[in-house]
């Protein structure tokens, strides 16, 4: 072989050996890089430093090929089990429902860190509103770090609705959640139909402890639509105790019902005393004579008239106090009387002094309407306890007294009754005229309100 060919062969051999050496060195470096990896290589781990062991939605396992049925106006519970493959920090897990007209529904965990080999559970909850459209949407689950998304998985949601479902979505209280006793409270409710069928509803607002309520009917609410009730008007009693009360707003539709409870604060008003005075004015009590003269063993009669000027019948009770030591009393026809609205009833209080009593005595008449004392009057009786004077003139005088006294008493009683009746008639006429004048503007106000 010539020297030239030998030289060429050596050069080619050296070149081939060099190429093989470079390739071997490159493979060695690649293997070294692989061995020195810290576990952050995402080629075989789409979630980066964590591995997703399972995902449960509403307590069940789902694959991405399955459709998850969700009822609107409910909660979507998501549980994710993670395994740390490497130490990492500032990781977050997010769940989102996109494609909605008024913005996405989403929740994201707070930043957390993982250690290699440790397991972690993350819980997310999405509230599916009652206005959610009845169509298919996507639930997107993401795992992110500070810089980028490490993992994303999508699930198809199919939104369904109950056949019948109404929800109270808003309430308006006027003048507010604090109201003065004796004033009015207006309540308006917004009702949303989250069901598949149209509904008619009855809306009722009540404060059970105060025994007040008001209702309104909504003729029809379409599926997926909302309706607003008329103003529900209630009046807080004049003498309601100042404190917090449970106020209940209830919506009834067919055999179903939805209700919500709010706290209403009632403050003290200035109408309670005025109402008490007005109640007393609504009853007129007349006593024929404030003082009588009699003798032991003989009764003195005090005529009494009770006129009910109110709009409802009332039960009145008469009590006599202060006669226990010197006399007896009797109320006829009864100490308990039922008086219809606009009517009057006459009664008589007989006081009979016992033997040995004399001089001026005082006693009290009390009148009650139910449990409330509406009037008290102090009356007097003069008891002539002196024996008859002996002699002709004295006997004649005594006889004259005995024959005259019953006649005078009867005339006084009749005169008292006549005066009482005339006063009652005048009061009833005046009251009815005043009431008719008050009712006219009240009716006009009611007409304007409604």
CATH number at 325 reads 2.60.40.10
pLDDT digits (tens, 9 = 90+) for 160-198: 777 788 888 899 999 899 999 989 899 999 998 888 788
Same structural domain, 151 and 177: no
The predicted structure's pLDDT at residue 238: 86
Domain carrying residue 61: 50-160
User: Cβ atoms within 10 A of the Cβ of 392, count?
Assistant: 7
106, part of any domain: yes
Radius of gyration of the chain (CA): 48
Residue corresponding to tokens 């139909």? 193
Q: Which residue, 250, 270, 290, sits at the end of a domain?
A: 270
Output the CA–CA distances (angstroms, integers) from residue 189 to 128, 195, 260, 446, in the order listed. 22, 18, 11, 22
What does the pLDDT look like over 190-217, one tens digit per residue? 998 888 788 899 999 999 999 899 998 9
Question: Is omega for the bond preceding 7 within 30 degrees of 0, making it cis?
Answer: no
Q: Tell whether 428 and 347 lie within a shared domain.
A: yes
Helix (H) or strand (E) holding 72: none
DSSP line for 380-421: EEEE--PPPPPSHHHHHHHHHHHHHHHHHHHHHHHHHHHHHH
Domain assignment present for 4? no
Residue ending a domain, among 270, 290, 312, is 270
Where in 99-198 does DSSP place strands (E)?
Answer: 105-108, 112-114, 119-128, 136-144, 149-160, 166-174, 178-180, 184-193
- How many domains would you assign to the chain? 3
Same domain for 347 and 418, yes or no, is yes
Token pair 């007129």: residue: 284
Burial tier of 220 (Cβ tally within 10 Å: 0-12, 13-18, 19+):
exposed
Gap between the Cα atoms of 167 and 249, Å rounded: 11
Indicate whether 234 and 364 sit together in one domain.
no
List the structure tokens of 420. Answer: 């009482």
Residue with tokens 């005995």: 402
Give the residue with greater pLDDT, 83 vs 435: 83
Residue with tokens 């009251």: 431
Q: What is the mean pLDDT of residues 72-77?
A: 82
Q: How confident is the model at residue 118 (pLDDT cuts 50, 70, 90)?
A: very high
């Amino acid at each position: 072989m010539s020297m030239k060919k030998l030289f060429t062969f050596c050069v080619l051999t050296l070149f081939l050996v060099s190429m093989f050496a470079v390739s071997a060195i490159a493979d060695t470096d690649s293997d070294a890089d692989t061995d020195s990896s810290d576990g952050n290589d995402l080629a075989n781990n789409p979630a980066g430093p964590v591995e997703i062991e399972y995902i449960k939605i509403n307590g069940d396992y789902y694959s991405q090929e399955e459709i998850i049925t969700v009822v609107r106006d409910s909660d979507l519970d998501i549980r994710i089990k993670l395994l740390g493959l490497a130490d990492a920090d500032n990781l977050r897990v997010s769940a989102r429902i996109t494609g909605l007209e008024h913005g996405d529904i989403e929740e994201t965990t707070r930043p957390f860190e993982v250690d290699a080999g440790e397991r972690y559970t993350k819980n997310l909850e999405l509230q599916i509103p009652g206005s959610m459209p009845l169509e298919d949407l996507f639930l997107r689950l993401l795992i992110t770090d500070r810089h980028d998304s490490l993992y994303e998985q999508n699930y198809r949601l199919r939104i369904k609705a109950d056949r019948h479902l109404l929800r109270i979505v808003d309430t308006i209280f006027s003048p507010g959640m604090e109201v003065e006793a004796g004033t009015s409270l207006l309540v308006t409710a917004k009702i949303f139909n989250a069901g598949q069928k149209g509904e008619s509803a009855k809306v009722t607002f009540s404060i059970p402890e105060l025994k007040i309520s008001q209702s309104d009917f909504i003729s029809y609410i379409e599926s997926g639509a909302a309706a607003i009730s008329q103003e529900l008007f209630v009046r807080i009693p004049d003498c309601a105790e100042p404190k917090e009360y449970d106020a209940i707003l209830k919506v009834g539709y067919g055999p179903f019902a939805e209700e919500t409870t709010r706290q209403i604060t009632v403050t003290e008003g200035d109408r309670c005393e005025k109402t008490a005075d007005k109640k007393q004015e609504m009853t007129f009590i007349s006593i024929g004579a404030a003082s009588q003269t009699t003798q032991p063993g003989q009764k003195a009669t005090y005529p009494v008239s009770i006129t009910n000027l109110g709009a409802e019948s009332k039960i009145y009770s008469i009590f006599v106090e202060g006669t226990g030591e010197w006399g007896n009393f009797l109320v006829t026809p009864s100490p308990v009387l039922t008086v219809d609205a606009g009517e009057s009833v006459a009664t008589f209080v007989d006081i009979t002094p016992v033997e040995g009593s004399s001089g001026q005595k005082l006693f009290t008449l009390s009148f009650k309407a139910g449990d409330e004392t509406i009037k008290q009057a102090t009356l007097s009786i003069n008891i002539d306890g002196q024996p008859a004077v002996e002699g002709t003139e004295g006997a004649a005088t005594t006889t004259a007294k005995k024959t005259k006294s019953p006649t005078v008493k009867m005339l006084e009683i009749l005169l008292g009754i006549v005066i009482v009746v005339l006063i009652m008639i005048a009061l009833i006429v005046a009251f009815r005229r005043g009431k008719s004048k008050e009712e006219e503007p009240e009716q006009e106000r009611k007409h304007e309100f409604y």
